[in-house]
């Protein structure tokens, strides 16, 4: 009697081939993550970061559309800030009534996956446009920061392209997390850049004051030490001491003005 658990060479081959395809898929994801990290690590400008991410995701999956939206205050609209299919679009406000799937992702903070977009009842108002573009699935992955949804990655696949798998969705969630961290760093950089000119000017003025003071004291002491009884300060009258203090105040005022470049 044949063993029901025995495997045939054909079944072993099929499993091996399936595992190879799975590993190749994982390899593609890892390479995409590495390439995205390499690109976004070279800039702290958030527009460049987001455009690099949409481009890489679009190329990796062969998407019909890949966009990044940032939420607007009031949550009635969102701002399209990066687009794979049209990189020239950088700051376009969209009404969330036209994108119920985007609204849902932003409000819930959960990934929205629509495997058959043309059959989804919430998208009946754009069914003709989806059919014309041969759209198959839509995935919206929220970008969260400190527990709040600040934006979302919007991905749309072709009907004749490969289906989005659970592994693909998990990969996009990883990219969303990287996007949030990159945006946080870019935000901190922009804040620092705006504050830096004032801080730099203050530091520069302080450096000039120190340089001018050292130069002044060096010349003064060199000149004064060459005279006889130069250090007999104790013999000065009270009026002379007060005059000396006044001259020191004048000198410090001059140094301060010189440091300002006046």
Residue of higher predicted confidence among 18 and 43? 18
At 108 the pLDDT is 93
Q: Could you tell me if residue 37 is inside a domain? A: yes
Q: Could you tell me if residue 115 is inside a domain? A: yes
Q: What is the pLDDT of residues 103-132, one digit of tens each?
A: 999 999 999 999 999 999 999 989 999 999
- Dihedral of the alpha carbons of 229, 232, 235, 237, in degrees to the nearest 10: 100
- Residue 29 to residue 168: CA distance in whole angstroms: 8
Residue 154: which domain range?
Answer: 19-192
Angstrom distances, CA of residue 173 to CA of 113, 152, 166, 195, 222: 12, 10, 11, 33, 70
pTM: 0.66
Q: What is the DSSP string of 47-90?
A: HHHHHHHHHHHHHHHT-SEEEEEEEPTTSSEEEEEEESS-TT--
Q: Could you tell me if residue 96 is inside a domain? A: yes
Q: Could you tell me if residue 24 is inside a domain? A: yes
Q: Could you tell me if residue 242 is inside a domain? A: no
Domain CATH number, residue 146:
3.30.450.40
Q: Could you tell me if residue 149 is inside a domain? A: yes
In total, how many domains does the chain have?
1
Residue of higher predicted confidence among 192 and 126? 126
Q: What is the pLDDT of residues 171-180, one digit of tens each?
A: 999 999 988 8
- Residue 200 to residue 69: CA distance in whole angstroms: 35
Does residue 164 surpass a pLDDT of 80? Answer: yes
Residue of higher predicted confidence among 188 and 77? 77
Q: Could you tell me if residue 69 is inside a domain? A: yes
Q: Could you tell me if residue 200 is inside a domain? A: no
């Amino acid at each position: 009697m044949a063993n029901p658990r025995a495997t045939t060479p054909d079944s072993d081959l099929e499993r091996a081939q399936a595992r190879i395809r799975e590993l190749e898929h994982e390899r593609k994801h890892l390479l995409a993550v590495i390439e995205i990290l390499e690109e976004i690590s070279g800039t702290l400008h958030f527009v460049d970061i987001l455009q690099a991410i949409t481009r890489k995701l679009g190329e990796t999956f062969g998407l019909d559309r890949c966009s990044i939206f940032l939420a607007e205050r009031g949550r009635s609209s969102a701002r399209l800030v990066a687009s794979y299919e049209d990189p020239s679009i950088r700051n376009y406000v969209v009404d969330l009534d036209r994108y119920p799937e985007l609204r849902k992702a932003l409000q819930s903070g959960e990934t929205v996956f629509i495997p058959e977009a043309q059959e989804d009842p919430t998208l009946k108002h754009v069914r003709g446009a989806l059919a014309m573009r041969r759209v198959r699935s839509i995935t919206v992955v929220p970008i969260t920061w400190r527990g709040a949804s600040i934006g979302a990655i919007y991905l749309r696949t072709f009907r004749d392209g490969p289906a989005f798998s659970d592994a693909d969705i998990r990969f996009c969630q990883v990219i969303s997390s990287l996007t949030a961290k990159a945006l946080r760093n870019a935000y901190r950089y922009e804040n620092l850049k705006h504050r830096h000119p004032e801080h730099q000017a203050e530091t520069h003025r302080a450096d000039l004051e120190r340089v001018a003071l050292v130069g002044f004291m060096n010349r003064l002491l060199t000149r004064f030490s060459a005279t006889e009884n130069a250090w007999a300060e104790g013999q000065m009258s009270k009026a002379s001491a007060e005059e000396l203090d006044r001259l020191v105040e004048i000198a410090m005022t001059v140094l301060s003005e010189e440091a300002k470049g006046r």
